[in-house]
Structure 1
Amino acid sequence: MQNRSVFFVGLDAADKDLIEQWAAEGVLPHFAKLLGSSLFGDIEVPRGLEAGCVWPTTYFGLRPGNMGQYDGARLFDSKTYEHISYQPETDLTPPIWATLSQAGKRCAVVDAPYNYPVNNINGVKVVDRAGHVPAGGGNFLHLRTNPPELADEIVELFGPDPAEGKSSDYFAMDTVEDVKHFVDIYSTRIEKKTDMILHLWGKEPWDFFMSVFTEAHCAGHRCWFLHDPNYHSYNAELAEAAGNPLKEIYIALDKAIGRLTEAVKGDADAIVYLSHGMGPRHSGTRILDRMLARMDHQDIVTGSGWIMDMGRKVWRVMPEALRKPFLGVRNNVTNDGFQPNRHTRRFFEVYANDRTAGVRINLKGREANGVVEPEDYDELCETLQKELYTLINPDSGKPAVREVIKVNTSFDGPFGNNLPDLLVTWNRSHVINAIESPMHGRVNSEGLDMKTRTGDHRIRGRFFALSDAWQPCKLNENVRTEDFAPTIGKLLGVEVPVTDGRIIAALTQGSAPEAMGNNLRPVENKTRNIA
């Protein structure tokens, strides 16, 4: 098979069903064209860890237990019992562009979510130009590039980040002016990034070019209450006056995809990658830790709701320079809704995502102050699973929990100790303001921020593949996020030596669809395990 150039453009958390709906309505003409002219299929993401794990599994080609990065740019530190920013200067597992670079391929990567190093590439790397959250953790995006002087070139040609390095959570969405300001910022971001991608694409004949747009992720979280009339806090009055900002962002992304696919046509095989979707935010994450504390016979600490709401409004408008001295105070006061004294508890909530909460066992020999004996671990997990399945959403009268996953049975591997022990997926058929246990009573969301984000992740993604070599059709079987790294390697004539993924045969023109997952070799657990 002749080696080709691969152009991979990601749309982080762009929902495939919304795209189909709006393409059918005629407002997304370039996606409508993709649906009729590409080879496309649906993508399965790691169950329970979709929000922060979809991108690392995509470019490492490994399941969470074999690479350990499960919550985007954060890890749980079993020494301090806190979530810490994950900011490695060098990847312990090579992402696909590092493997390609080692084989002599020229690569360009722009805003790969949650990937911080800039020196792991034979070519160009841009980090935190316009991401959803900082790639290596923290509160603000800080542009870093390889080569370093590229950062100045980007700012000179395309200006600074229109969002000023801030997460979308920092923008108010209370008035028509707020909404229009939000749409203007993120539409401009999309346009400027498209300009930048085309500029970098024209610099040389790249073997592999990857860039990710995160605006659907930002808008999905913030704008669902103006999009979905069935959402419990849908603001009909504001939606009538301001329109549908989520649709506006998708229209801007559609234009970007049209420009990019036309620009690379004939020069590269193009893959448009929708990582996972968006839907209404109905979550018991953070509330769960109150129930876990109750189960462990601990007192429950709650904040004052109106004080927290006022503080968040002040925080959003405070300049970055003024925020920095107060970060420690903010983190101690808000504490993400989690209960204190983790080191004395048998189990507690750790953040996984809002669709699925994580539970950590305070295990002797792993946690710094572990209290649970290793021989009691399995029995305690089983007991917790049974109790979690009894939880009820009192507002709906239905079970609050859809599924409880014991992680070491689904994501085993050398980095398994970095992951939560249990994953608790919520029943999202109804808003969750409280959860109730037959044995332990009711806990509610008092003092928690349940309003800033109104949209949340769905687990299914989609990809579109455009090339003269690929016949337009829809695959009958789903592919997995970890399948793309070995597939891209195959397209470029480079073997990915350590992977859980399988080559997507439909994209390799009939080449042997060998199961690369059978070639998985143990990954040395060096420093990823923070315990």
Structure 2
Amino acid sequence: MAETNLDVLLVGIDAGCLPVFDRLCDDDIPNIRSICDDGVAAPLESQMPPWTPSAWPSLYTGVNPGKHGVCGFVTYDGYDFHVVTGNDVEEHSIWSLLDDHGVTSVVVNVPVTHPPEEIDGAVLPGFIGPEDPRCHPEGLLDDVRDAIGEYRVYPTYSREDSDYTDAQKMEEYTDLVRMRGEAFRYLADENDPEFGFVQFQKPDTVFHEFEGDWNKVTTVYQETDRQIGKILDECDPDTVMIASDHGMGPYDEYEFRVNEFLRDEGFVKATRGGKGMPSWNPIQEELREGKETTTWEPNTVERMAATAAKFGFTAHRIRTALEKVGLADVARQYAPKNVARTGNEQVDFENSTAYMRARTELGVRINLEGREPEGVVPPEKYDDVREALIERLSGVQTPDGDPVFEEVAPREKYFHGKNVENAPDVVTIPNDMGQFLSAQLLGDYFAPPNEPWNHKLDGVFAAKGEGVDPDGIEERPHPHLFDVAPTVMSALGIPYSERMDGEVIPVVEDAGATSYPEHDEMDDAAVEEEEEVEERLADLGYMQ
């Protein structure tokens, strides 16, 4: 392998955080530990909401979601939804700004980068894109596969797949981590970039799928660290940084069903049947199968469940009945995927006053007249409705008498910019991020948390190498997610955008801000690509 000219390497570890690092043994993560111990490490405050599809664009653009426009796994056209793509990110990425200055980049597996931007270098998109993503330059994915063998974005199995043992699933995890490292090293060798960005997603996913099983977490981190070590050895960056989109920790309180509470408070109206609540999950399976899908429509069986629900035969009722007579396995085996989504009660968005669209948005949307297609709240009543929502949600307590929410606030506290209307009107932050929020209508307000491990607000920032002053962190011991982009650009000696919401973390010299052109609207090629995707989906029966 030829020697590279890599000035700055940014390693993204999804859900990476100091509490997890501290629990791992030195032998498990020697390379991560070396960067943290020999350089500088600090907790990195995430944004609202602290979830992958919104937080990574915030990290790589340096702006809040109110500016870049992505607030969750899906975005909305009225009450309908589609999965977010790179086209929904309406602000310049680090690598596009560097490209303006003639700085080359290699970007591998960063979420929400499909379709890719055209730069001097290479972009291999990751999570939330399709299994065979369009890359830059054209043909790059085939080149990567020819060079390293198999390369995939997603596992070959779904979480519900009982044909895979845990050992086989963990082999899939480590294979996917290895693919990221091998692809980055190959592309760095081919392109000789000055900036590199490789992201590892599995340190997050392993907590969600395996509920914090520490042996499995350790296995994933061992392989992640191994790949980081190989990149450091072969690419020899002058400066290396680690950053994450959020942290990870136990959720040992309750699941709180926000829309059930809002229904009893008179804000939510319910309906039976329909398409189901907005979610990334049904779309993910189609992406994993290689389809460039952007939305989800029920199949025949799922539509039948929706029709049955109108007569009271909900999937929830049927499954509960089977479980009560000891037939839980039968319920799982014969319930087609997504039937629960279409066969249960749903929020009637058009006729509701306010509702939680999706739990990962961490907020409530008002059905505002003139903004939503069937808005029922007149603009002059908006402030009154929002104040009522804030007051009532702020007072919710768990069965133990503890507050559910640490803060219930108007969106202006966390979102500002040209895309602020994409954000929820009321931000609902769980107390200590320990309560699991649900948007489903499932009866009681409270239940055990759906996942015992989930996202926390503090991720991690670490840096080591040329130009890094470890003492500088004392001036800002708790940096913010938005600070990563201006810090990376400053480390390269390139002025960052004055539109960025973050500041340079004072471990590197501030290169200063400058004015960059506004982000361009979607180009003709991207529009044509989306139209082609819709046509293919229509041919397959996914769209009408």
Given the alignment of the two structures, is residue 467 of structure 1 paired with residue 465 of structure 2, yes or no? yes
Instruction: Give the share of equivalent positions with the same residue, in percent.
Output: 21
Q: Is the 8 A contact 1:186 1:249 kept in 2?
A: yes
Match of 2:406 among 402, 405, 416: 402
TM-score (norm 2): 0.75
**Shift of residue 295, structure 1, vs aligned partner:** 1.6
The answer to whether structure 1 residue 154 and structure 2 residue 144 are counterparts is yes
| Residue 417 (structure 1) aligned with residue 414 (structure 2) | no
Contact 1:183–1:245 (CA<8 Å) still a contact in 2? Answer: yes
Q: Describe the SS at the equivalent of 2:355.
A: strand
- Which residue of the partner structure matches residue 290 of structure 1? 260
Corresponding residue for 1:238? none
Q: Is the 8 A contact 1:75 1:83 kept in 2?
A: yes
TM-score (norm 1): 0.77
Q: For 2:234, give the aligned amino acid.
A: A
How many residue pairs match? The answer is: 467
* Counterpart for residue 37 of structure 1: 38
Q: CA deviation at 1:502?
A: 1.4
- 1:485/1:225 CA distance change after superposition, 3 Å: closer
Q: Following the alignment from structure 1 to structure 2, what is the Cα–Cα distance between the partners of residues 525 and 202? A: 31
Aligned-pair distance for 1:83? 2.7
| Partner SS for 1:405 | strand
1:339 corresponds to 2:339: no
Q: Which amino acid aligns with 2:366?
A: I
SS state of the match for residue 150, structure 2?
coil
Q: Over residues 184-240 of structure 1, what are the superposed CA-to-partner deviations in whole Å (9 max), with x where a residue is unaligned?
A: 11111112221221111112331211111101011121122533xxxxxxxxxxxxx
1:338 CA displacement: 7.8
| Aligned counterpart, 1:374 | 379
- Give 1:13 deviation, angstroms: 1.1
Is 2:205 aligned against 1:198? no
Change in Cα spacing, 1:338 to 1:454, as seen in structure 2 (3 Å) is: farther
In structure 2, distance between residues paired with 1:496 and 1:336: 50
Conserved 8 A contact 1:293-1:299: yes
Q: Tell me how far 1:161 sits from its aligned partner.
A: 4.0
- Report how far residue 505 of structure 1 moved: 2.8
Describe how 1:13-412 pairs up with structure 2 within 5 A: 13-23=15-25, 26-72=27-73, 74-77=74-77, 79=78, 81-87=79-85, 89=87, 92-128=90-126, 131=127, 134-135=128-129, 140-161=130-151, 170-172=158-160, 178-227=165-214, 244-265=215-236, 267-281=237-251, 287-296=257-266, 300=270, 320=289, 329=302, 333-334=340-341, 339-353=346-360, 357-394=362-399, 396-412=400-416
Q: Quick one: distance in 2 between partners of 1:285 and 1:520?
A: 45
Using the alignment, how far apart are the partners of 2:189 and 2:53 within structure 1? 32
Distance 1:443 1:489 in 2: 46
Cα contact 1:51–1:457 (8 A) shared by 2? no
**Comparing 275-284 and 186-195, the one that deviates more:** 275-284
In the alignment, is the contact (CA less than 8 A) between 1:500 and 1:520 conserved in 2? no
Letter in 2 for 1:151: L
Letter in 1 for 2:407: E
SS at match of 1:184: helix
SS state at 1:83 partner:
strand
Shift of 1:300: 5.0
1:275 shift after superposition: 2.7
Shift in Å at residue 60 of structure 1?
A: 1.0
Distance 1:474 1:295 in 2: 50
Whole-angstrom CA distance in 2 between matches of 1:288 and 1:211 = 36
Q: Which residue of 2 aligns with 1:236?
A: none
The whole-number CA distance in structure 1 between the counterparts of 2:205 and 2:385 is 38
Partner of 2:9: 7
Output the amino acid matched with 2:341.
Answer: T
Question: Contact (CA 8 Å) 1:282, 1:428: kept in 2 or not?
Answer: no
User: In the alignment, what sits opposite 1:502?
Assistant: 503
8 Å Cα contact 2:31/2:229 also seen in 1 = yes
Map 1:508-527 → 2, pairs under 5 A: 508=509, 511=510, 516=513
1:248 aligned partner, one-letter code: T
**Aligned in 2, Cα 1:248/1:302: closer, same or farther, shift over 3 Å?**
farther
Residues 355 and 365 in structure 2, CA contact (< 8 A), matched pair in contact too:
yes
Q: Using the TM superposition, name which of 403-412 and 414-423 deviates more.
A: 403-412
CA distance in 2, matches of 1:20, 1:336: 44
| CA distance in structure 2 between the aligned counterparts of 1:35 and 1:464, rounded to whole angstroms | 6
| 1:402 to 1:505, Cα distance in 2 relative to 1, 3 A | closer
- The answer to whether the 8 A contact 2:256-2:435 is kept is no
| Cα separation, 2, equivalents of 1:429 and 1:98 | 34
Unpaired stretches in structure 2, ≥5 consecutive residues? 274-280, 303-336, 524-544
Are the aligned partners of 1:415 and 1:525 in contact in 2 as well (CA < 8 Å)?
Answer: no
Shift of 1:378: 1.6
Letter in 1 for 2:146: E
| Corresponding residue number in structure 2 for 1:235 | none
CA drift of 1:380 comes to: 1.3
Paired residues of 2:259 and 2:356 also in contact (CA < 8 A) = yes
Moved more, 102-111 or 486-495: 486-495
CA contact (8 A) 2:94 2:485 kept: yes
- Distance change >3 Å, CA 220–CA 172, structure 1 → 2: same
* Contact 2:350–2:375 (CA under 8 A) maintained in structure 1: yes
- The equivalent residue for 1:491 is 491
Contact between 1:40 and 1:474, CA under 8 Å: does it hold in 2? no
Consecutive unaligned residues of structure 1, counting only runs of 5 or more, are 228-243, 304-311, 436-440
Contact persistence 2:46–2:459 (CA under 8 A): yes
Do the aligned partners of 1:404 and 1:424 also contact (CA within 8 Å) in 2? yes
Q: Distance in 1 between matches of 2:16 and 2:338?
A: 30
